[in-house]
Amino acid sequence: MKNLKDLTRLVLVVLLVFSCFGCDSRTKEQLLQEGLELQEQKNFTGAIVLFKNALEKDPNFFEARYQLGLIYSANKQYLKAEKELEKVLLQDPGNGEALLHLADVRLKNNHVDEAVSLLEGYLKEQPSSVRAHVLFGRGMALSGNLDKSEAAYQKALALDNTHHGARNGLARVYGATQRFSAALALLRESVEDDPQNKEAHYLLMQLEGAAGNGDEAIAAGRQLLKAFPGELKATYLLGVLELNRGGADAAKDLAADLAARYPEHPYTIRLQGLVLYAEQKYSEAAEKLQQSLQRMSDLSGKYVLGLAYYKEGQYELALNQFQNALDDQPEHIQARLMVAQTLFRQNRLDDSRVAAELVLKADPKNALAHDIVGSVYLAQGDFDRGMSAIDEAVKLAPDLVDAQLKKGMFHLTQGSFEKAEEPLAEVVRMTPELLNSRLLLASSYLRRQDYVKAIDVLQKGLKGGEEDAVIHNYLAAAYLGQGQTESALVELKKAKESKPNYLSPYINLANHYLTRGELKRAAGEYQAYLQVVPDNLRALLSLGTIQELEKDNQGAEKTFVSAAETGAPEGHIALAMFLGRQGQMQKALDVLQEGLAQQAKHPGLLELKGKMLIRQKQFAEAQEVFQILSEVQPAKGLPLLVATLVQQGHVEQAEKVARQQVERAAGDPQGYLLLAEIYKQEQKFSKGIEVLEQGLAMIKNAPALHMTRAAIYQAWDKKNQALEVYGELRKQYPEYLPATFSLAALHDSRGDKRQALSLYRACLEQDADYLPALNNLAYLYADNYGDLDEALNMAGRALRSQPTNAGIMDTLGYVLLRMERFTEALPYLQKAAQMLPKEPLVKIHLGQAYFGLEQFVEAQKVLQQVQTGRLSETETLQVEKLLQELATKG
């Protein structure tokens, strides 16, 4: 009976509760007012109930719905807020405040396009709304359009120069575009004007750190805590900054402060874990980091926990954490690098290389990724590819190993590097069995031209195994740097003996013989290597080039055929180019077609086929090929397609193609460049400049547009304007080598050789292997503006990079000519003259070589051919002088 009584009582209660629904005697206005009062008292749950009750009485009571939307937003229930505010605007489309709130929550929901659309409409009617401009700036930043974001924040500040949101937003844009000085100046002014601007304090601390100003970031953090004593997040971030600077004791004090006030907060536990990590107590650190992740699961926590496991040698656990971090943020470079490093430690070499190569796809200049790839190849015995990757790593970041030793991966992202020598030497002392560490150190010495130290560290690494091949190869480079050629040759031969299938020593020996004009011996090196590795494409292409220089066309063709038989497109391209130089154009086209049968859309094959068809005057067929190429690789195919149309006189059709590209991709400079080039060819220079100005108004970050503008000024014979454009471009993009080189070349052509020398050298300081500067500087040095031995070195390096480049052959030949090494110069100049039949200066050099060899008949024949063409004043004088001297020899 008791249970029955309880059930009866429960039913009565339920009936009573339900009978009360709908019997609230308060009006909707009263419910709204009471809800507002509860909201003031921060009783948000009660306020939400009252606003909903008001809406039950009248679903069209938009004042209650508006307040409901606002309270959802304040409580970070943005999806609910968005739905309610959308209903408000349906009822009251002219409610500007509701519209701005809706745009705000849409941005917070990442519904960026919808928010921006709302704001664009609003700003057309209310262009003076500061808040609308600020929200629009946020929207543009979220969509990645930082130029428009910056403009919006600037407009907001023009209307109200003290607006916090506008100042902070603009500072974020400056920070995102690496303009730290401007960002920091703005934020320092903000916190000075209003010490209670918390967001500005946090931004200032963050951006000082991002700018590499560790001390200033810490000062900003302490300033924040002064303005907001006890601020939990600020205390935690300040602790992290102290750790990054190496202030473990200060971080420990901050962790203790947090522990006293917030013992269970994840920030407290995380900072304790980071302090333990800095103290190298990795097991204890891992325990704390795990605890913090249970309450604050984020990427940084997973990443550092992975590092702690890695330091403990628990590689599988480390791998799991790094992968967890990548699940949160697949583009996180440091986590992927650590995946690669951990896999390497587990001897999962192929997996490690794949992980590192994924990094290089996103960031081709990541030195550590190159180092990992190189280490994998070295461990697998592939020394050529291994050392190529290691060399690239050292070239990109000489301090790489120091970063690994002193700062570790935890500090790598802060960019805190010191000089490489001491830590690299320490690695060698601690782990002498690690080959790549010794080679990294040696490479560092070689780059600083400290050959004595390089030789010492390398010799101590010799162990009598096949790995010695790499060391001997490096020793050769060090001896060559000292000018000890014979010792270098001995080391290269030892490298070959240690590992016969290691290509680098053969290449280095061949290059040595090439610069001495000993073509047969150079060819012999590649032939020796091909006996060991018969299908190596690089060796085949180099051998074929040397055979062609020797005028062994039968041998060259056989070698290039072997290159094509490897199946690599580069082999088909090399064979087709050789056949083209021999005048066998149809046979060359057949070879290219064979290559395209295997790779139908290979850009290199398509490009060469189109160009050869043009040489055959088969314009329609070439046009079809370039059309396919423009679909595969627009940046390469479209200019060729347009040039072909212009060459046929179809200028209007060419313009149409270019304008279609402008319409198709308004933010891409390609269309404007095509149009400008058409007008340049048609000598409509002012029209070309006008098109480029239009492009520059649309596209801010487009150095190629400036380059073409300067080129048009040069063609227009307005060289002062061209100089001005190149100079401005160099200031704006100091790392953009084409601008520096073009400025140098223009000074060179105007006779200002000293300025040209300085700028060519500046190019090589940025990139020691920048081919155009290497070639031109070598030529200038040979022309009495530098050391001839250095000129020979540079021209040799350039030819090694592009052995079939006729312009470089001419430069090397000219250098040898100036050194009176006529026999060695002759084959290079003969081949250059064959490949560049319309270049009079190349034939003049060839005539000079024949003259030096006392082959006067051949010299006269070449110079008389040159005389019939169009010559500059200088070239005319040179030819006349040589012919006069030849007349005295007759």
More confident position, 407 or 677: 677
Biggest CA-to-CA distance, the chain: 141
Indicate whether 744 belongs to any domain: no
Contact 552, 526 (CB under 8 A): no
Q: Tell me, what amino acid is at 410?
A: F
Q: Which residue has the tokens 């980071």?
A: 274
- Dist. CA 488–CA 833, nearest whole Å: 33
* Digit-coded pLDDT (tens) for 832-843: 998 888 899 999
Check whether 581 has a pLDDT greater than 60.
yes
pLDDT of residue 6: 53
Q: Is the pLDDT of residue 814 over 90?
A: yes
User: What is the domain count for the chain?
Assistant: 6
Q: Are residues 141 and 222 in the same domain?
A: yes
Q: Is the dihedral of CA 769, 773, 776, 781 positive or negative?
A: negative
Question: What confidence score (pLDDT) does residue 756 get?
Answer: 93
Q: What would the two tokens of residue 186 be? A: 């703005």
Q: Is the dihedral of CA 59, 64, 69, 75 positive or negative?
A: negative
| pLDDT tens sequence across 263-296 | 999 999 999 999 998 888 999 999 999 999 988 8
* DSSP codes, 322-360: HHHHHHH-TT-HHHHHHHHHHHHHTT-HHHHHHHHHHHH
Question: Looking at residues 585-611, what average pLDDT do you find?
Answer: 94
Does residue 310 lie within any of the structural domains?
A: yes
Segment holding 347, helix H or strand E: none
Residue 293 to residues 86, 268, 301, 303, 668, Cα–Cα distance (Å): 37, 12, 6, 11, 44
pLDDT score, position 603: 93
For residue 846, what pLDDT is reported? Answer: 94
226 and 147 both lie in a single domain: yes
Q: What is the SS3 string spanning 450-510?
A: CHHHHHHHHHCCCCCCCCHHHHHHHHHHHHHHCCCHHHHHHHHHHHHHHCCCCHHHHHHHH
Taking only the tens place, the pLDDT of each residue in 140-195 is 999 888 899 999 999 999 999 889 889 999 999 998 888 888 889 999 998 888 89
In whole angstroms, how large is the CA radius of gyration of the chain? 36
- Whether the CB-CB separation of 258 and 288 falls below 8 Å is answered with no
Q: What is the pLDDT of residue 417?
A: 28
Distance CA 106, CA 83 (A): 10
What the block records as the tokens of 702 is 């487009």
Q: How far is CA 243 from CA 246, 250, 276, 358, 459, in A?
A: 5, 8, 11, 30, 39
Give a three-class secondary structure readout of 25-79.
Answer: CCCHHHHHHHHHHHHHCCCHHHHHHHHHHHHHHCCCCHHHHHHHHHHHHHCCCHH
Q: Please report which helix (H) or strand (E) contains residue 716, including its range.
A: none
Q: Taking all residues of the chain, what is their mean pLDDT, rounded to a whole number?
A: 85
What are 709-752's pLDDT values in tens digits? Answer: 999 999 999 999 999 999 999 888 888 899 999 999 999 998 89
Examine residue 686 and state whether it is found in any structural domain, yes or no.
no
| pLDDT at residue 329, as a whole number | 83
The CATH number of whichever domain residue 261 belongs to comes to: 1.25.40
Tokens representing 404 are: 């690994």
Q: Please indicate, yes or no, whether residues 45 and 184 belong to a single structural domain of this protein.
A: yes
| pLDDT for 377 | 86
What CATH number is given to the structural domain containing 210? 1.25.40.10
> What DSSP character marks residue 730?
H
pLDDT tier at 399 (50, 70, 90 boundaries)? low
Give, in degrees to the nearest 5, the angle at Cα 203 between 202 and 209: 95
Flag the least confident range among 245-249, 430-434, 856-860.
430-434
Q: Which long-range contacts (CB under 8 A, 24 or more apart) does 739-747 make?
A: 739/703, 739/706, 739/707, 740/766, 741/770, 741/772, 741/773, 741/776, 742/707, 742/710, 742/711, 744/773, 744/776, 745/772, 745/776, 746/714, 746/719, 746/722, 747/723
Q: At what angle do helices 670-681 and 685-698 cross, to 10 degrees?
A: 170
The model's confidence at residue 3, banded by pLDDT at 50, 70 and 90, is: low
Q: What one-letter code names the amino acid at 293?
A: L
Residue 529's nearest CA partner among 573, 558, 485, 495 is 495
Q: b vs e for 793-812, b when ≥16 Cβ sit within 10 Å of the residue's Cβ?
A: bbbbbbbbeebbbbbbbbbb
**Encoded tokens for 521:** 């011996």
pLDDT value at position 736?
Answer: 87
Average pLDDT of the residues in 550-574: 94
Residues ≥6 apart with Cβ < 8 Å to 712: 676, 679, 680, 685, 688, 689, 692
Which residue shows structure tokens 């790489």?
400
For 393-442, what is the HEC assignment?
A: HHHHCCCHHHHHHHHHHHHHCCCCCCCCHHHHHHHHHHCCCCHHHHHHHH
Residue 274: inside a domain, yes or no? yes
- The pLDDT value given to residue 136: 94
The dihedrals phi and psi of 43, each to the nearest 5 degrees, come to -95, 75
Q: What's the whole-number mean pLDDT along residues 229-258?
A: 87
CA 680 centroid distance within chain: 31
Does the pLDDT value for residue 393 go beyond 50? Answer: yes
C-alpha span between 839 and 866 (Å, rounded): 9
Three-class DSSP category at 804: coil
% of the chain surpassing 90 pLDDT = 43
- Domain end (from 368, 397, 426): 397
How far apart CA 862 and CA 886 sit, in angstroms, is 12
3-state secondary structure 612-630: HHHHCCCHHHHHHHHHHHH
Q: CA angle at residue 579 from 798 to 870, to 5 degrees?
A: 65
Residue that wins the pLDDT comparison between 411 and 660: 660
Residue 890 — very low, low, confident or very high, per pLDDT cuts 50/70/90? low
Do residues 79 and 161 both lie within one domain?
yes
- Picking from 133, 138, 169, 168, the residue whose alpha carbon sits closest to that of residue 152 is 133
More confident call, 557 vs 398: 557
- CA dist., res. 730 & res. 191, Å (int): 36
Would you say residue 430 has pLDDT above 70? no
Terminal-residue alpha carbon distance, the chain: 141
d(CA 612, CA 532): 35
Q: What whole-number distance in Å separates Cα of residue 310 and Cα of residue 306?
A: 6
CA atoms within 13 A on the CB side of 59: 2
Q: What is the mean pLDDT of residues 88-109?
A: 89
CA-closest candidate to residue 268, choices 280, 256, 276: 256
Query: Taking Cα atoms as reference points, which of 563, 490, 480, 503 lies closest to residue 796?
Result: 480
Task: Record the tokens describing residue 758, joined without a space.
Answer: 């300085």
Report yes or no: 606 and 629 within 8 Å, Cβ to Cβ.
Answer: yes
Task: Look at the block and give the residue holding tokens 């519209």.
Answer: 99
Most confident of 117-126, 415-424, 665-674: 117-126
Dihedral sign, CA of 260, 262, 267, 273?
Answer: positive
Same-domain status, 203 and 72: yes
What's the rounded mean pLDDT across residues 428-441?
55
Same domain for 315 and 185, yes or no, is: no
Q: Quick one: CA torsion of 325, 327, 332, 336, rounded to 10 degrees? A: 80
**Claim to verify: residue 107 and residue 48 sit in the same structural domain:** yes
Distance, CA of 791 to CA of 1 (rounded, Å)? 112
Name the helix (H) or strand (E) containing 22.
none
Domain boundary among 450, 475, 499: 499
**Domain check: are 96 and 197 in the same one?**
yes
Under the banding of pLDDT at 50, 70 and 90, the label for residue 374 is: confident
Q: Report the amino acid identity of residue 7.
A: L
User: How far apart (Å, rounded) are the C-alpha atoms in residues 284 and 268?
Assistant: 15
| pTM of the model as a whole | 0.59
By percentage, how much of the chain surpasses pLDDT 70? Answer: 92
Determine contact, residues 122/100, Cβ cutoff 8 Å.
Answer: yes
Cβ–Cβ < 8 Å for 114, 98:
no
323-338 mean pLDDT: 86
Residues 111 and 189 reside in one and the same domain: yes
* Residue 79 maps to a domain: yes
Q: Which backbone phi and psi does 535 adopt, to 5 degrees?
A: -110, 25
Does 601 fall in a domain?
yes
- SS3 of 226, please? helix
In a domain, 837, yes or no: no
Q: Of residues 424 and 354, which shows the higher confidence score?
A: 354
Residue 284 lies in a domain: yes
Residues 508, 495 share a domain: no
Asked if residue 845 has pLDDT above 60, the reply is yes
Asked if 878 contacts 783 with a C-beta cutoff of 8 angstroms, the reply is no
Do 133 and 198 sit in the same domain of this protein? yes
The pLDDT value recorded for residue 406 is: 31
Does residue 210 share a domain with residue 242? no
> In whole angstroms, what is the distance from residue 887 CA to residue 129 CA?
86
Q: Is residue 57 very low, low, confident or very high in pLDDT (cuts 50, 70, 90)? A: confident
Which residues span the domain enclosing 261?
A: 233-296
Cα torsion 629, 635, 638, 639: sign: negative
